[in-house]
A and B are shown apart, each in its own frame.
Chain A
Amino acid sequence: AQRVTQPEKLLSVFKGAPVELKCNYSYSGSPELFWYVQYSRQRLQLLLRHISRESIKGFTADLNKGETSFHLKKPFAQEEDSAMYYCALGSGSARQLTFGSGTQLTVLP
């Protein structure tokens, strides 16, 4: 069975500091990994996906199949990055999503 682990429930960093949100997964097949973000009073939205290999709002994430990880990184955090971040694994032919429990990121001024 697939599983997504986000070990940090809460993460605080100062503005301008680097930030890394950890995500580990377990899945026997070929994974498709995503990061979703939920800003205060907004709906859950896709931030980025590993197959796109793109940077969104300064965030990047690299899929490491050896370590089964998909950590989210940003070199210089901004206050507007404060939000709840969920890592998700797409699996199966229909690509159902399995979500981690989320990390609440707070960027302090």
Chain B
Amino acid sequence: EAGVAQSPRYKIIEKRQSVAFWCNPISGHATLYWYQQILGQGPKLLIQFQNNGVVDDSQLPKDRFSAERLKGVDSTLKIQPAKLEDSAVYLCASSRGGQGPTRSEQYFGPGTRLTVT
């Protein structure tokens, strides 16, 4: 099966600019996640979708970050305006959801490396 796709792979912007990331999950996966991984740290969950509804966005800085998953498939994550501390790798992951022991097994995309100057 095709893996999780993300674009762009790299992005350099100046502070106060806006940026958007795109994610296409594995076909049939109901749950989609966005993570932020700052250098030297583990991934931190920003938002989780179940189909096109938000399950958890408690760690999403809503004053500048937004995300949507229209039609329950692809998703976009936007930052507006960007700050220097937003420099990180943004990871998208998906899981099957539903029931069973593998329902929460997450498959990750290659990530988008964002540099804010």
Contact among A4, A9, A43, A86 with B110 in the assembled complex (CB-CB below 8 Å)? A43
Question: In the complex, are the beta carbons of A99 and B42 less than 8 A apart?
Answer: yes
Residue in A closest to B105 when the chains form the complex, CB atoms: A46
Query: What is the distance, in angstroms, from B104's C-beta to the closest C-beta of chain A?
Result: 4
Question: In the complex, are the beta carbons of A97 and B50 less than 8 A apart?
Answer: no
Residue in A closest to B95 when the chains form the complex, CB atoms: A95
| Total count of chain B residues near the partner, CB < 8 A | 26
Question: CA A88 – CA B105 in complex, angstroms?
Answer: 11
Count chain A CB atoms within 10 A of each CB in B33, B40, B43, B107 and give the residue with the most. B43
Question: In the complex, are the beta carbons of B104 and A95 less than 8 A apart?
Answer: yes
Question: In the complex, are the beta carbons of A101 and B40 less than 8 A apart?
Answer: yes
Q: Contacts A43-B111, A44-B108, A90-B104; is A101 near B42 (CB within 8 Å)?
A: yes
Question: In the complex, are the beta carbons of A4 and B104 less than 8 A apart?
Answer: no
- Chain A residues within an 8 Å CB radius of B107: 45-46
